[in-house]
């Protein structure tokens, strides 16, 4: 993966992260089950961290 592809993927994941955060807030406000959303957010954080590491190594 080149630098542009990594940067694009990071931006894409950031948008997903924001969407999931909003969904989490909505579910939490109605006392819904937030566990699956928290898991997805954690997975995104790991993937973002990995991509940032790759970007820094370039």
Q: Which two tokens stand for residue 12?
A: 């894409």
Q: How confident is the model at residue 1 (pLDDT cuts 50, 70, 90)?
A: confident
Residue 11 has pLDDT above 90, yes or no: yes
Q: Model's pTM, two decimal places?
A: 0.85
Position 58 pLDDT exceeds 90:
no
Q: 30 in helix, strand or coil?
A: coil
Structural domain total, the chain: 1
Residue 8 corresponds to which tokens in the numbers above?
């694009």
Distance CA 45, CA 10 (A): 10
What's the pLDDT tens digit per position in 15-56?
999 999 999 999 989 998 899 999 999 999 999 999 999 999
Domain that holds residue 31: 3-57
């Amino acid at each position: 993966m080149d630098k542009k592809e990594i940067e694009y993927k990071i931006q894409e994941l950031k948008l997903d992260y924001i969407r999931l955060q909003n969904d989490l807030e909505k579910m939490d406000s109605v006392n819904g089950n937030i566990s699956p959303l928290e898991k997805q957010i954690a997975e995104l954080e790991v993937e973002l961290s990995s991509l940032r590491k790759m970007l820094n190594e370039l």
